Structure 1
Amino acid sequence: MRGTLYSKIVEEMKAKIASGVYKADDQLPTEAELTERFGVSRVTSRRALEELEKEGYIYRIQGSGSFVKPLGRFQKEQTARIGKMISLIIPEEDDRGTMGYIRGASEWLNKHGYFLSVHQSNYDDSKERNLLDTLPRRGASALIYYPRAQGNFDILHKLSLEEYPIVMIDKHFESLSIGSVESDNVDGTYQAVSHLTRLGHRKIGFLSSVSLESTSSVLDRYFGYCQALKDAGIPLDCRWVHLDGRATIEERGRDRFFEELLELYVSEGVTAVQAENDLVAASLLNRCLDGGLRVPEDLSIIGYDNNPLTEHVAVPLTTVGQNFYEIGRKAAAVVVDWLEHAAVCRKRLKIPVKLVERESTAKRA
């Protein structure tokens, strides 16, 4: 549709509905008014209004015009028409947990008379935004949403105000009144770093590929790291905390980033590192081995997620296991309880995690 004459009308009307310029039951411009405003034919204006009606944005009354359709009314019509569909939005299907989310949600929903539709944004902001905007209007009775990053606050706030059933997984946004189902990330790194302190490590780094401000799960993991150090009587040293590594790598190159990082660890006597996730931990481990550092003799490393790769790297990684299946199952239960019992969920629900000890950690030499 992009690039056609009528699509320009459709996109502008959608934007004005989403921003509140046109509210529920407000009348939209007539075919004649759209024709004059956009300099198109009457046929083009009519087709634009038909497309908006088809997508569930408006309803039309013969002889009166076109009006913005309230989301609640559309949702009820669609639920009655196509059944009990719950939609899951994820960045992509991979082995870092999303398949666990899908299995957990799908199996629970199937047992309770619902079914799951899965939609991938492929880490595309515009595609994710479009899914959030259109799925409720195309028949999804509720959304389970794994955000790739902070954003789309306008659409999410609109859904929240309308009490549309939506729950986040993996992350939460403090500024929005939307519930979430997450791993207990604070406790996860608290367990991991406490394990390192019991092994005698005193200089423990924290390594992340993203900034704390961008990802709530990583922020919580950082808080757990800090609390474990404090409880062990170890002062926090920010020289050993490295954040937003991805941006630095893009600016200066991967080789230089890891070379300077390992030089710092050696010069400062850092003997252990808590990584944001298993992929970051595995990258650090491989760079250590390439550079002649022994793991765990010279540097103990802990990841996060219990990704399948953790057992198959050169030195099997100690990590924190998340229960992705339970997160998916609980998120499905939350939205169905909302639908069936009006149990609106605004809370952060935490799923327990577990330290998985392997060969990448050892007592301080």
Structure 2
Amino acid sequence: MAQVKKPLYLQIIEYVKNKIESNEWKQGDQLPTEIELAEKFNVSRITTKRAMEELARDGIIYRKKGRGSFVSENSSVLRATHNQSKIVSIIIPYQKNREEMLDYIKGATDFLNSKGFHLSVHCVENENNEKEAEYLKSIPLQDVSGIIYYPSNVNDDYQYLIPLSIQHYPIVFIDKYFESLPISSVVSDNFNGTYKAMNQLIQKDHQFISFFSRKPIERASSLKERYMAYCQSLVENQIELDHHRIVNGYHAMLIPCDDYEERIGVLANMIKEQLDLGVTAIVTENDIDLVQGIGKLIHEGIKFPDEFTILGFDHMQIPEFFNMKVLSVEQNFYGIGFRAAEMVVESIENNEYINKKEVLPVRIVKCGNSDVNYAGIMCKQ
């Protein structure tokens, strides 16, 4: 059977990309005109125009009216991908007392080492959006073949993420996903974990349960899924969904505080307000924040109900020292890092762009109790 030839405009696109990948045409170099390319490939100018428009749309070249087409700075991404170095980078928040961040790194490192790759770690402190954006802009221009990315606030990074996805640069989100971006992700089963843990609370006669979110709920897929599960569990069990028991985006109230003690005081007051409303359980996004606030209240002599329970997601043991019940939705951070690295390498080695979401199961752990209930199922989309 005769081999089917590529459309002529695709042949022109491939020709231009090869010139850039081989470094024959460098950033800022002017390309041949549409007429020159039409003559070279023996095609109409309409065909060359289509090829150049697609290259410009993908950010490989840029065009100046009346002057011609030029190699763009984003073309360096092509060279990094073409060279296929054995380096993958991870961009991840740095937070004290958050060991799960090391588990992400350990999982990614173990898989990459097994495939002869190396991991370079880039930490972002204090939710520094400028630093995060700088990494997304600079890393693909270096000798790095792919990125594992734990986003703190992707809304500020769209201008860098969209070109990477268009150019099929290997990148995988961890912890969160974004439906508006065609980029792969590996996340925990936040919805099912929260839903089953909530039902366990309600079965223990908790009727007044608060939801604490450090960031605005609408800013992250993980928070939205947890909140939806919280709401659904209450509604299905015919419990009032009271907005007074929703503490959403409280970090904004901590920013003006001058020091650590003042921040903990603000947190403690938030928790005290919930206790005054009769709350006996709190679902918290950030275990450390809640524990610090509770610790201050206990130090001040505030009494908590005997049945008071913390439902968290970081599997911390600290609340046990306060003699409190803890229900934790334990996430497989190591597995997320391992699978994300696997997906990046798969994309690199097969020269194939991957766009899918994978959800890893979680487990519900009752601290001080050996019973473990598994929640969630492995699924692929």
TM-score (normalised: structure 2): 0.71
Match of 1:333 in 2: 342
SS in 2 for 1:139: coil
- Which runs of 5 or more residues in structure 2 are unaligned? 1-24, 31-59, 62-69, 370-381
Contact 1:89 1:131 in 2 (8 A): yes
Partner amino acid for 1:349?
E
The question of 1:126 aligning with 2:130 is answered: yes
One of 343, 356, 365 as aligned partner of 2:365: 356
Distance 1:200 1:308 in 2: 24
Match of 1:302 in 2: 311
SS in 2 for 1:196: helix
Distance 1:27 1:342 in 2: 26
Taking a change above 3 Å as real, the CA distance of residues 278 and 258 of structure 1, as seen in their structure-2 partners, is closer
Partner amino acid for 2:135?
L
TM superposition shift of 1:297: 0.8
Q: Which residues in structure 2 correspond to 1:47-196 (within 5 Å)?
A: 67-68=71-72, 70-71=75-76, 73-79=78-84, 83-92=85-94, 94=96, 95-122=98-125, 123-150=127-154, 151-196=156-201
TM superposition shift of 1:359: 6.1
TM-score (normalised: structure 1): 0.74
One of 224, 231, 235 as aligned partner of 2:236: 231
Contact 1:133 1:155 in 2 (8 A): yes
Distance 1:259 1:98 in 2: 26
One of 266, 286, 290 as aligned partner of 1:257: 266
Distance 2:164 2:133 in 1: 13
TM superposition shift of 1:226: 1.1
Contact 1:315 1:359 in 2 (8 A): no
Match of 2:49 in 1: none
Contact 1:273 1:300 in 2 (8 A): yes
TM superposition shift of 1:269: 1.9
Partner amino acid for 1:290?
H
TM superposition shift of 1:260: 4.4
Match of 2:223 in 1: 218
TM superposition shift of 1:251: 4.5
TM superposition shift of 1:141: 0.6
Match of 1:43 in 2: none
Contact 2:184 2:355 in 1 (8 A): yes
SS in 1 for 2:116: coil
- 1:90-113 deviations in Å (ceiling 9; x for gaps): 122653411001110110111122
* Matched length: 301
Distance 1:345 1:90 in 2: 21
What's the RMSD between the two structures over aligned residues?
2.9
TM superposition shift of 1:286: 1.5
Distance 1:342 1:114 in 2: 16
Taking a change above 3 Å as real, the CA distance of residues 144 and 255 of structure 1, as seen in their structure-2 partners, is closer
Higher strand share: 2
Taking a change above 3 Å as real, the CA distance of residues 272 and 246 of structure 1, as seen in their structure-2 partners, is same
The question of 1:321 aligning with 2:327 is answered: no
Distance 1:76 1:268 in 2: 56
SS in 1 for 2:274: helix
Taking a change above 3 Å as real, the CA distance of residues 234 and 25 of structure 1, as seen in their structure-2 partners, is farther
TM superposition shift of 1:167: 0.4
Match of 2:36 in 1: none
TM superposition shift of 1:173: 2.4
Taking a change above 3 Å as real, the CA distance of residues 244 and 96 of structure 1, as seen in their structure-2 partners, is farther
Partner amino acid for 2:112?
L
Partner amino acid for 1:300?
T
Distance 1:338 1:120 in 2: 24
TM superposition shift of 1:236: 1.1
Taking a change above 3 Å as real, the CA distance of residues 201 and 344 of structure 1, as seen in their structure-2 partners, is same
Match of 2:376 in 1: none
TM superposition shift of 1:263: 4.6
Distance 1:255 1:312 in 2: 18
Distance 1:282 1:186 in 2: 23
SS in 2 for 1:213: helix
Taking a change above 3 Å as real, the CA distance of residues 313 and 135 of structure 1, as seen in their structure-2 partners, is farther
